[in-house]
Amino acid sequence: MTETIFKKIIDKEIPADIIHEDDISLVFRDINPVAPTHLLIIPKKPIDKISDANQEDQALLGHLFLVAGEVARKLGVEDAFRLVVNNGAGAQQTVFHLHIHLIAEREFNWPPG
């Protein structure tokens, strides 16, 4: 994995509006939001994309979803938010460090994308 902007945020080399941090994950506001609430939930462990995760990442992946719920409750958006994971360039992933978008406070349509 090459060093990404997310790694620099984890290492505090560049600033971010951090909402939550623990030993495993970091949550911060997206700099190009598509909704009033648009956060990125990332693991501190470098994984390029979700399809690169393996069995040893099972607890980490579960942790990211629990953090999503915790942060949504903290921000008062727990009743209406969307989680999005883009996997690969063809799915519009632009930073190759696994991340979950938490998007809230806007109208959602189905199907997405």
Give tens-digit pLDDT for 15-73.
Answer: 999 999 999 999 999 999 999 999 999 999 999 999 999 999 999 999 999 999 999 99
Q: What is the mean pLDDT of residues 87-92?
A: 96
pTM: 0.95
Write out the two tokens for 43. Answer: 């693991």
Write out the two tokens for 18. Answer: 């951090």
The band of 112, judged by pLDDT with boundaries at 50, 70 and 90, is: confident
| Domains, the chain, ordered by start | 5-104 (3.30.428.10)
Whether 99 is a known active-site residue: answer yes
24 and 37 Cβ atoms separated by less than 8 Å: no
- CA 57 centroid distance within chain: 15
Q: Choose, from 20, 38, 97, 99, the residue flagged as catalytic.
A: 99
